[in-house]
Structure 1
Amino acid sequence: MSAFQELFGVEPEATASAPGRVNLLGEHTDYQGGFVLPTAIPQRITVSLSRNGTQEHVLHSASTDTTLRVLLGEKGKGFAPYVTGSLQLSGVQEGLNVLIEGKVPSGGLSSSAALEVATLRALRDLFNLDLDDVELALRGVQVEHRFVGVKCGVMDQMASSLANTNTMLLIDTRSLERRSVPFPAGAEVLVIDSGVPRRLAESGYNERRAQVEEAARILGVKELRDVQDSGVVEKLGSPLKERARHVVSENARVQQGLQADAAQFGQLMNASHASLRDDYQVSHPQVDELVNLLQAHPQVFGARMTGAGFGGAVVALVREGRAGQVARDVLAQYPRGKQLVPEAAT
């Protein structure tokens, strides 16, 4: 008997899954029309659905053994809005049983996007929705904006919907054009959780977005992606100058990374972290400590925080075949961390 049948007494009518993602370069640029370079991680979230003939949704998270009941038209609390928002935006007008299995670690690896994309994929199958993978990702973004309260860009949902673990995915977040980009030769990806939890809607994420939007308005451009001369941002007052400087320089780093070898790509990651720490001010002292340990390791090309910040995970580009060794060495000095991607992402 399946876990779904044990819980709900019937087999699911649809099941789908989606991966988390880690971003190598291009942080906090996607809501300014910029460029990003994420890749999918092995960890996935699976969502199974069935109709239940009632006026409420019954949502169960296997990882926390938590069941939530939410009436039609309500969004609920906890993890519910990621699911109920997906249901409401998809026009679901009947109660569903929902089982969420698997786990994408929270904190910079897009666990919420994976949940949204998996839910929307299952809904697409159950109700034969006319949604391609890009439209599905954009619907996930609307879930974040309208139901969760995070004014995110499009990267997380696009990566969860379209990326794989074998390549990076270059996304132009304005046009939504994308293409696969190989990892630098001789390198693999290591992801470590800093042990510092975060909550985006309660952090400075929305404040940062408002600041760069104001910077773009003052500079007379639609988005900071349109700034051609990085020197113009120096005319802004603080903190808008620093916020805009990060976005403009980060877009440039993504472009430089497309032709970089492993050593050059690592240096770009190091510079990205410094910019996120100093100009965008979204890092955390413990995250910086972990990044510093990684950057100092002889088998590491470069390392940075990943995700929106204020805690969460860090990502390192390490010499191929050495991720396990690097993780053991670093975690011996940083015991509150946890290795999240134990094998090469390449």
Structure 2
Amino acid sequence: MNTFETLFGTPPQASASAAGRVNLLGEHTDYQGGFVLPTAIPQRLTVELGRNGTQEHVLHSLSSGQTLRVPLGEKGEGFAPYLVGCFQLSGVQEGLNALISGNVPSGGLSSSAALEVATLRALRGLYGLELNDVDLALRGVQVEHEFVGVKCGVMDQMASSLADTQTMLLIDTRSLERRSVPFPAGAEVLVIDSGVPRRLAESGYNQRRAEVEEAARQLGVKELRDVTDLAAVETLPEPLRARARHVVSENARVLRGLQADAAEFGQLMNASHASLRDDYAVSHPKVDELVNLLQAQPSVYGARMTGAGFGGAVVALVRVGQAAAVAQAVIAEFGNDAVQLVP
């Protein structure tokens, strides 16, 4: 197996890791000041760094086997902008070697945020940067906006930087206030990757953001977070009406979920998926099929797509102790493209 030293000839000078995340409720609300309920997953990405004394960055991914060389001042292609953006925004003015390893899948579980957070943590160690965990998350968001071209909200990086696997993390994405929330009693989380790849910058993600920003403008509010009466969005033309209806109803589902037992929380997840599929139009037929199979299982309280959509993973709330059996049954019916991830 390749290691940093076998690839680059010297040991790494800094190393850090970060977790992926799965979001149970609160999808596509974080760029409208809304509420979200993610949790960290056990899968992590690790970034090792070392100075190379040249005027280029040499970046290697163990999962793909790909090595990219990026001259200083350029952002590169492929996975390079995620790292190079972190380098440039952190003031790096020398060539670095980087090795990426880990097991966070690329569909809907914030592998990009985990890569950014791990890189920034490693840079913090290498250069003694004064970045707290919230600063680090916000810099990751800046990388997405300025180097990757995805106008994401703050949830993914905040979750990767601050969440744990034992609780959900309620984040008010406007104030960045946050607190840990226990999972509903008697339930556990199951995540399954649909096997459908996606590329956010090439999908409708930025279009959705533009649509809800226009909806907020037409309603005369700073963000749709400020709309609590669903009737208010009915004055909008389509598709703005449907997009705004999702955001407003999704915020209400998150807040309701804080007091819900497992059965009601599952119903909220089911409603969230329907809203994402029908009003926000960010699901995918294969993802819908996988969600339907999960929702039909007697031990499943609820299931939905998770992440930005257009493919990727689904999450289910399952009766405690039943996740493995549910996953086996559903994957057998769905086909071999699906992969169980959690627990």
Q: Equivalent residue of 1:311, what SS?
A: coil
Which structure 2 segments of 5+ residues have no match?
A: none
Number of the residue aligned with 1:131 = 131
In 2, the alpha carbon distance for the partners of 1:340 and 1:105 equals 11
| Offset of residue 337 of structure 1 | 3.7
Deviations 1:82-101 (A, max 9, x none): 00000000000000010101
* Contact 1:257–1:268 under 8 Å retained in 2: yes
Number of the residue aligned with 1:191 = 191
Question: What is the correspondence of 1:18-29 to structure 2 with a 5 Å cutoff?
Answer: 18-29=18-29
Number of the residue aligned with 1:33 = 33
Is 1:209 the counterpart of 2:212? The answer is no
| Offset of residue 208 of structure 1 | 0.3
| Offset of residue 65 of structure 1 | 1.0
Is 1:115 the counterpart of 2:115? The answer is yes
| Offset of residue 2 of structure 1 | 7.8
Is 1:220 the counterpart of 2:220? The answer is yes
Deviations 1:12-70 (A, max 9, x none): 11000000000000000000000000000000000000111110000010111111100
* Contact 2:45–2:118 under 8 Å retained in 1: yes
In 2, the alpha carbon distance for the partners of 1:340 and 1:117 equals 24
What TM-score do the two structures reach when normalised by structure 2? 0.99
* Contact 1:21–1:38 under 8 Å retained in 2: yes
Question: What is the correspondence of 1:1-346 to structure 2 with a 5 Å cutoff?
Answer: 3-343=3-343
| Offset of residue 338 of structure 1 | 2.6
In 2, the alpha carbon distance for the partners of 1:228 and 1:25 equals 17
**Structure 1 residues 339 and 2: CA distance shift in structure 2, 3 A:** closer
Equivalent AA in structure 2 for residue 147 of structure 1: F
In 1, the alpha carbon distance for the partners of 2:56 and 2:84 equals 10
What TM-score do the two structures reach when normalised by structure 1? 0.98
* Contact 2:16–2:48 under 8 Å retained in 1: yes
| Offset of residue 332 of structure 1 | 1.1
In 2, the alpha carbon distance for the partners of 1:61 and 1:340 equals 23
* Contact 2:15–2:48 under 8 Å retained in 1: yes
* Contact 1:104–1:111 under 8 Å retained in 2: yes
* Contact 2:86–2:120 under 8 Å retained in 1: yes
In 1, the alpha carbon distance for the partners of 2:273 and 2:342 equals 22
User: Between the two proteins, what is the percent identity of the paired residues?
Assistant: 79
Q: CA RMSD in A?
A: 1.0
Which structure 1 segments of 5+ residues have no match?
A: none
Deviations 1:156-205 (A, max 9, x none): 00000000000000000000000000000110000111111110000000
Q: Equivalent residue of 2:171, what SS?
A: strand
